[in-house]
Structures are given as C-alpha cells and as structure tokens.
Structure 1
Amino acid sequence: MIFRARRFSLFLLFLLAACPQLPQPFQHDAVNPLLRLDGRAGVVLILESNVPRTFATALRDSLNRQDVPVFLEGAPQDAFPLRLHLRKGTERAGLVELEMFWQLHDAEGLTIGHYDQLANVAASDWEKGAPSLMKRLADAAAPQLATLMPIEDGTRPLVSTPSKPADKQLLILEFVKGAPGDGNEALARAMRLALSANGIGLIEQAGPKAFRLQGQASVAKAGSNSESLHLEWRLLDPNGAEMALLELDGAVPAGLLEKPWGPMAGEIVASTAIELAGLIKDAGKKP
C-alpha cells in the first residue's frame, strides 16, 4: 500500500522581513529533535577555501566566550565537526551579500544542528579578512552556534534520546529537481538536516538496506502577481518499490523563488521530514 498525503493553500504570502512568518501549508508546529550527545568536547572548525583565515580565529574567540572549545587543528577525536558553506552574492556598489550555512555534525557525520546566517558587508573588507568585520560576523554567529551544542547537564532542553548507529534507518536523497533559483540545493540541504534531526541516517551511496527519496518541484503562473509551487517527495523502499508520495501545493509572490531560499527551505520541509521519518521507522520495524 502506498501512503499518499497532500496539502493545499489558496495563497501564501511570504513576508520578506528578517524573520518571516511562514503561512500554510508550510507553517508547522513541529520541533526538530536533537540527538542526546555530550558537546563538552567542543568543535573542530571546517571552513571552505573562500573564507578568510582570520574569520576562523575570530569565530574561535567568539565561541570560546560562549564556553564552546574550538579547534582549528589537532582536534580530539570526540570533537564535533562544525562546517561552514558560504555563498557570496554579486557585488553591488561595493557591498556583497553573504549567505553562511552552518552545519554541526556528530561523530558519524550526521547533521544534528544547523544555522543560516545572512549579512551584507563591504566586499573589500571581506576579501582582505578585515579583523573588525570578522569579529562582527563571528560575534553574531557564536551565540546561535553555541545553542546547537548538545549537552547532558540539563541546561539545554533535549527532546529525544539517540538511536544507536546500528538501529538507525538509512536513506539516500537521490535528487531534488525543478525548483527555480537555488531551490534544488536549498531543499535538499534542508531535507537532509531535518531527516538527520529526526533520527534518520543519511548516506551518499545507496546500499541494500537504504531507503531512497526523490524530490520534484514545479512552478506555474497562478495570476498576475503570483506563482503556484508544487512539491512532491517520493519515498522508495530498499527494494525500489514506491511506498509514499507526499505533496504540497501553494501560491507565492511572483519572482520570490528566484531569490535565495535560505531558511525558508527548512520551514517548508520540516513537517514533511517528520512524516517521512515516521514512515521509514515504521517500515524498518517490519520483518
């Protein structure tokens, strides 16, 4: 039997403010669970080559002030990898928009937390790694990144206990296609994060026991000032048989999806990821 679910909305208005409220059907009350892990070992910082080296030291100092040990090299084995994926926009009038996507991983390489940071900065200051700019960006990120650290002493609410690695159901996200702008990449990244947070093990290559997930997006004109967004998430069992199709439909302001999706992608996939994780776990219990 194939599980099918579909959600509709007549119109979605995404407010282009710093913290937009997400309308139905993408609005949700779900809270992504964190793996119950001890983060006192600190993090090892992994930056892409297009990030100034001075930013690494600035972030180390800022996180140290948040009581998070940071290692730029020679990290202990139980330190958590903290990765930064940077996308730099087109320079305009000497300014450039930075989209900084942070991911915190556990010892198995599974993502257990993420934070998206946006900033408009002077292009020349970024390129030369100006200390004042590096400190400003690091000080803005550090409090948010510190909250991602899993701890055991009760000072941070924890809503679930971890699955043992052998108990985790494995999944490969094969593709996300059809979304405009950076939507394919943003939706795929957000879905991986959400599924990892819900106890599903994400892998890069299909194995004999791995479930498979395929994402398909399409956009159609819905009026003079709006477009219709349709999303399909197709879940296949380890034998390649379709076991679920989850669909979402809604309208968005025309041209919005051509812009960077950023945190919007995470909000869109959150509830779907919880449904998918439940289906995968239930299927994994069957003999």
Structure 2
Amino acid sequence: MSLALLALLAACGDLPQPYRGRPGGQAAVLAIPLAIRLAVPPPEQALLGNAQAKEFAAALVTALQSEDVPVIASATPLPLDWLVEITAERQGQGRREAVRPRFRLLDADRKPQATTEGKPVPLEDWANADRTLFDQVARENGPKLTQLLLQVEAARKSTDPASLTAGPPRMYMVGVQGAPGDGNTSLAARMKEQLGGQGFVVQDSAEGAAYGLQADVAVVPGATGAVQRVEIIWIVSRRDGEELGRVVQMNEVPTGRLNRLWGDIAYVAANEAADGVKTVVANALQVPATTPDGPKPTGPAVGAVPPPPPAATPTPPPVLPPLR
C-alpha cells in the first residue's frame, strides 16, 4: 500500500466516499449493452414441482430485468441464448435441514462460465414455496448473477483469443478475515470488482473455479499510540489447494480509524493488490500475462511475494479449504 492511502484518510474525514470521482472497473462495462440474451428454463433439479419451477424461473427473470439484463423465461431457449441453470440441494439434518439454491451461467455452447449460490432455505418452507419466497430468493441472487455476467463479458473481451474456448479464468473468493469494522465485507467486495476488471470471473462458490483467494488482516499497535499498523495478506491458491503466492500490504492509519467503515481504504487496498494477485496467477502459467492493449510486466508486482519455503518439519503447511 502506498502513501495514497494516508492521503485518502486525510481527504475523506469521517465519511468514506468509496466511489467519488472513481466509479471503478464495472462502470465502463455497465455503459456497454450486453451482447447476449439470457434464458431461464424452469428448473428440473431444484426439488420443486412443475408449477413451482415455472414460478421460480419467472421470479428470477423479473429480478434480472430489474438489473437491465436482457432475459426471458423459456423452456425452449434459442441456440444462441445463454442459460441460467437453477439447481438445489438438501443440506443438514433434522430441524436444521435446508435447501440451498444454486445458479450457473452457461454460454451458447452450454459450457459453464460462472456459478453462485443462494442462502439456505428451511426445507419445509422450500417444499411449500410460493411466488413470495421465489421473489425473495431471486432478489437476493439477481444482482450477484448480473455481476458475474458482466465479469464474464469483460473477461471474454480482454482475454487472448486463443483462450476464449476455455472461458475466462474463474476465482473462488474464499473470504477476508480478521479486519475490524466492515473490513471483511468491504475488502472482499472491492477485490471482486478489481479482479473483474483484470479479466477474472470472481464467484462466491467453489464450483468450476481454478483458483482460490483469501485474505488475512491484522491491525496491531503502531510506533506510537496515535497510529495502528494494518497488515493485509492476500493468499492465492490453486484448485488442488497448493499455494501459488501471496500479496502483502502494510501501512499505518490513525488509531481506531478502521473500527467502523473502511470506505476508500478498502478501494485503494483492493486496487493495489489486484495487480499482484493477477501476477501471481500469471506466473503460475495459467493465464496470459498480456492483454490486447499492450504487454503487461511479467516480473513480480509490487507487494507480490513467492510462496514461503517449506517448513523444516514434515508437517505440511496449511492450505485453503479444498475447492469443490
């Protein structure tokens, strides 16, 4: 992290302004109409009856249309339509048994492009679900599907043409932990946006993801009582759990500044770390290190460090939770 972070602190005062004069990577994408149409067929694997399945598809279409996504509900989509495939699975036992809906984006060749999942719904509520419940689930997941769709579109436009058949690289955002205030949520959200602009599709489900990303945050006393030192470590792993590298950020902030809203601080941290995360993946030879706009540096990014050497003991180092 650079001195720009402290400059932002002085400029923003107590009211974070995360996007003032800086709309983020999604802004340019949102200004361009999507060149595809989605179709949502009634789900056959969602533990619903035929009538309920049609209601669920209609509810999701309404939610996506409110996000300005071109979408229809159809059991017979056209050949060039992309699909939103809805499934659901039972989880838990006894009184805690629930149903978790899942949503998968399929391109015109019916190849998976991104996946997300909804919150668990009590089994009894799901069995008796009506349009009210479906509308609630659709409103919760419509924005997530829209963001994934925009990321896929942006990634496909920026990816090396030779790699388009494989689709854009997908990364599972495992999460951020250890941050005070709303730091865990804000850092994860801003990093998703930044990596989306770097050609990745960042999803909150492990299904189909080639990489995993998590961050550990520590806020410790600084050199004086007036400041605290913030340490953020972004850990990039491969699907099999092997750690590929880390991006380390450190800086000092006024004591207590991060106890509530992170605001611009989360934006700056994610903006600077995203380049390092992409470099770690590029160095693993899984994504191209160049874009159509010109060559990108292939050396280590600022803050990017290689994985730590193996421990002297035979005990294996901890890894991220396995990606399903």
| TM-score, normalisation: structure 1 | 0.50
- Structure with the larger helix share: 2
User: Which structure carries more strand by proportion?
Assistant: 1
Ranked by relative contact order (alpha carbons within 8 Å, sequence separation 6 or more), the top structure is 1
Q: TM-score, normalised by structure 2?
A: 0.45
